[in-house]
Structure 1
Amino acid sequence: MSPATTVIAPDHVVTQRSRAALWVIHGGAWLALITYCWTAWIVSGDFNTNTIGRGQEPDWYVALMRGWEVFALVCTVMIIWTFVVRPKLRTGRFSFDGLFVIACGLMFFQEPWINWTSYQFLYSTTSINFGSWLSHIPGWSYPHAELVPVSLWAGTAYFWLVAIPAMAGSKFMGWLTRRRPGISKLNLIAVTYLAFCAFDLVLESFITRTNLFSYGSVIPSLSLFAGTDHQFPVYETVSWAGTYVFLACVHFFRDDRGRSLPERGIEAFHVGDRVKTFFRLLAIVGMCQLSILLTYNIPYQLYALHSQMSPVYLEQPWRLGGVCGPGTNFDCPGPGVPIPRSDSETNRTR
């Protein structure tokens, strides 16, 4: 191949650089928002462990939670060492997988956004928690959001239950393309999506059965085991599998230089290598934040309009955490129950 055929046209370089700049700015905006909200949460005094209901849960549940938290910590340390720290020590640079794992970890920021307009997803005050940063998010709607006991293990799970499955999905896509060289991108994504649906259904069936977290408010007609303490909305799998396949596509569809879509063009920036690496991280962070926002958190606000709290949770204060239900000024979601705003004193009509 002659040298002339390998030269990228200047206008193409400019276009890629401009697109990359937008991705970097977009990711930077997300990182700024995350930094602001978490800092405000810590310095405001809302960074407190929610212990409402502790001591009322079964002993087996306490033992399970403590064991699970240790398991989560070990998994997280291993993943960060394997994909982030060790490659950096060996090569002096962060690998794509390392940046991808970090970006997936930061998706934890949107973990409790499912509760933006209605209290749907329940953690447990039994778990290690420090309340939540939700009330410090501009535009947040649901009241008493600082009490939502976001489990610390749920944050670590974005490394081992999000990043790792997404990378596994990328490998699955590679396997499919080798097995069926002529497969279209649409079919490749569709098959991977269905595989993630099966994976998520098995995974979350275990988690909800053990009450590690719970879908408190669901649409009963679209849920399995509705009315029990392990009810499971089928649309959860529909949405979360979408997040998984989005992330798998980010990881899989890279060019011959190993660059994911938002990174392409960053190499043309006239900055040092360390700054370029940081810009790459910002671009990937922005893409990962979009994945959960578009496929999960926005659709869930529509589901929330038709959801209702199972009565079984009203008798389990360690799940509700004082956000709604008995002993509070707010009724939990249900038919005829007004949706409160952050400045509402109550949503009770009588």
Structure 2
Amino acid sequence: MPAYGVAGNGDLPPMGRQGPASFLALIGALWAALSVYVVLRWVTDGTQFGPVERIGPDEMASWRVAALRVFELVSLAVMFGFFWWSCIKPWRETGRISLDGKFVIGGLVGFTADAFLNVHNYLFAWNSHNVNLGVWVKYLPFHNPDAPSQYGESLIWGPPMYIYFCAGVAILAAHHAVKLRRRWPKLSKFQIFVAIFVFEFWFDFIIENLAIRLTHGYAYAKTYEPLTLWAGEVHQFPVYESVLVAFVGMVFTWARMEAMERPPGQSPIEIGVERWRASLQGVVGHFAVYGFCVVTLVFVYHLPFNWLGTIGDSYADLPSYLMPSECEGIAVEDCVTGNFDKP
């Protein structure tokens, strides 16, 4: 019989549990390098970098423009608040950034992936009134050259969403999970996570629908109709959006709750950093968290969202200010699917 009870191992010693840190750090480093490349290509492209042209004939109501500006200011305040409480304050007090802070930074690192929303079709409509400098989608892997690439990705309220829907909901959900356990000590992890999922689903559903209806900052241009509310309207909403966001939030919440039961710096994401020499452990830990953020965002959210949107058949009634600039005079369905001649 093999020495360690596993057929084929022979006299090999057990490898032991090495942890995911090195693998996730590799992903984080590769994604950071890709992001730098994509952004550099974007900012040096004279046709893609810069505020998008606003096409007619539709005019946005002045009160909606005001609501959009308020949304942008509130989003900025939330983002800076998270940076202060999760990154700057802990760093000043302890010389280290907590897991929450790494999630905040990781959300911004993962924001480059936001353009994947429209990498194949124009599924996610952006308002040209957003403070924007165009979009980098053209330089992402797997970009469909027929898809629109001249629209106004928000640089003000977009990045904060990757913070409060990831780090934010994890902090809030973990806090309330502790309260639930104190109130009902016999609750299982499954029951707690069901409650967390319900909370995160409704949190996203309410926030997004308020933002869409009040600001027209964005819209879902093409969705899978059987899972879409108010299909065909400018404010049509795919229910799977909130489901996917809730799953993303649950993954971040799981990591944070597990970390609460471990010593600082030993979250389930960072297991294995101790295998590196001391001078590199901090860097590896950071990039491991960034890799975790990217993997979660891409595989839990972006891939299923793109699949459901690509097979979708419900097209929103978009005003022209929610259309890409190269789609002036083009029907929504043709613009969304890239079925038009680019100028």
Q: Mark the CA change 1:263 to 1:311 in structure 2 (over 3 Å): closer, same or farther.
A: closer
| Partners of 1:185 and 1:323 in 2: CA distance | 50
Structure 1: runs of 5 or more not aligned? 1-10, 334-338
1:106 Cα deviation after fit:
2.0
Deviation at 1:276, TM superposition (A): 2.1
- List aligned pairs for 1:1-350, cutoff 5 A: 15-17=16-18, 19-45=20-46, 46-53=48-55, 56-141=59-144, 143=146, 145-152=148-155, 153-210=157-214, 211-254=216-259, 255-258=261-264, 259-272=266-279, 275-308=280-313, 310=315, 312-313=317-318, 316-322=319-325, 324=327, 326-327=329-330, 331-333=334-336, 339-340=337-338, 346=341
Query: Is the alpha carbon distance of 1:329 and 1:299 closer, same or farther for their aligned partners in structure 2, counting shifts above 3 Å?
Result: closer
Paired residue type of 2:193: I
Partners of 1:50 and 1:130 within 8 A in 2: yes
1:278-298 CA-to-partner distances (Å, cap 9, x unmatched) read: 211110111111112122111
What is the CA-CA distance between 1:266 and the residue it aligns to? 0.7
Percent identical across equivalent pairs? 23
Task: Report deviation, 1:188.
Answer: 2.7
Specify the alignment match of 1:5 in structure 2.
Answer: none
Moved more, 321-330 or 238-247: 321-330
Mean alpha-carbon deviation: is it higher for 198-207 or for 176-185? 176-185
Partner in structure 2 of residue 4 of structure 1? none
The alignment's C-alpha RMSD in Å is: 2.6
Q: In 2, distance between residues paired with 1:256 and 1:287?
A: 18
CA change 1:76–1:123 in 2 (3 A) is: same
The separation in 2 between residues aligned to 1:229 and 1:194, in whole angstroms, is: 26
- Structure 1 residues 345, 229: CA separation in 2 closer, same or farther (over 3 Å shift)? closer
TM-score of the superposed pair, with normalisation by structure 1: 0.83
Q: Which moved more, 1:52-61 or 1:200-209?
A: 52-61
Corresponding pairs, count: 324
The one-letter code matched in structure 1 to 2:254 is C
Equivalent-residue separation in structure 1 for 2:44 and 2:277 (angstroms): 37
Paired residues of 2:234 and 2:316 also in contact (CA < 8 A): no
Deviation at 1:43, TM superposition (A): 1.9
Q: Give yes or no for contact 1:120–1:309 (8 Å, CA) kept in 2.
A: no
- 1:145 deviates by 4.5
* Conserved 8 A contact 1:208-1:231: no
CA contact (8 A) 2:223 2:309 kept: yes
Distance 2:226 2:326 in 1: 25
Cα 1:115–1:20, aligned 2, differ >3 Å: closer, same or farther?
A: same
- Residue type at the aligned position of 1:178: R
One-letter amino acid matched to 1:77: F
Q: Name the CA distance, whole Å, in 2 between partners of 1:321 and 1:305.
A: 18
